[in-house]
Each structure stands twice: as C-alpha cells, then as structure tokens.
C-alpha cells in the first residue's frame, strides 16, 4: 500500500511517494511500525528535464518507450504518466 506524504520534492519534480519496506521478523515480534522509504517521482517531462540538467543524454521519447514496453513502472493519473526518477536512472545505468 502506498501512502502519499506531502514534503518538498527536489527541484523540477512534483511528487514523492513513500512505500513501506518489507517487515522483517524483528519488527513483527516487536510490532513496530515498518520504515518508509521515499520514492522521488515525476512526470516523464519532469524526470527528463532533471536527467538532462544532471548531464545525462536521453530523449523523452526513449523514456516514453520504456514505460510503454513495461521496462519502467508507471502510474497513470488520467493521461499523465508518473514515473520514479530512480527507476529511470537504474535503467540508464543498466543500458
């Protein structure tokens, strides 16, 4: 289950989602609340702009192609595709 928490995202990106990590045995026994990990997300255009500003050479169309092929996880809000910045970066490093 994902929970949206409003905090200030990095420049150029509008969304930060938090998801709960897997609960380990110690947390289950102590009944502690699982930790939450931030996931920086944005539209394809926003993520592309941030990548270009950081010196990566990639086109918006390449990112759109990866989302359509299912190589990058995408969440749609109406017609807008929201993607994780880290997943695009990982895909770039793997290529």
- Sequential pLDDT tens for the chain (95 residues): 444 444 555 555 555 555 544 445 555 556 666 566 677 889 999 999 999 999 999 999 999 999 999 999 898 888 889 999 999 999 998 87
The whole-number pLDDT of residue 83 equals 93
The whole-number pLDDT of residue 1 equals 40
The whole-number pLDDT of residue 4 equals 47
The whole-number pLDDT of residue 22 equals 45
The whole-number pLDDT of residue 94 equals 87
Tokens representing 54 are 């950081």
The whole-number pLDDT of residue 29 equals 59
Domain that holds residue 49: 2-94
Q: Please count the structural domains in the chain.
A: 1
Instruction: With H, G, I as helix, E, B as strand and everything else as coil, classify residue 10.
Output: coil
β-bridge pairing 15-20 and 2-4? antiparallel
């Amino acid at each position: 289950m994902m929970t949206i928490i409003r905090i200030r995202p990095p420049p150029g990106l509008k969304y930060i989602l938090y998801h709960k990590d897997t609960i380990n045995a110690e947390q289950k026994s102590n009944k502690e609340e699982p930790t939450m990990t931030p996931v920086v997300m944005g539209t394809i255009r926003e993520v592309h702009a941030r990548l270009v500003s950081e010196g990566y050479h990639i086109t918006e169309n390449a990112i759109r192609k990866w989302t359509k092929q299912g190589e990058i996880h995408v969440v749609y809000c109406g017609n807008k595709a929201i993607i994780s910045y880290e997943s695009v970066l990982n895909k770039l490093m793997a290529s």
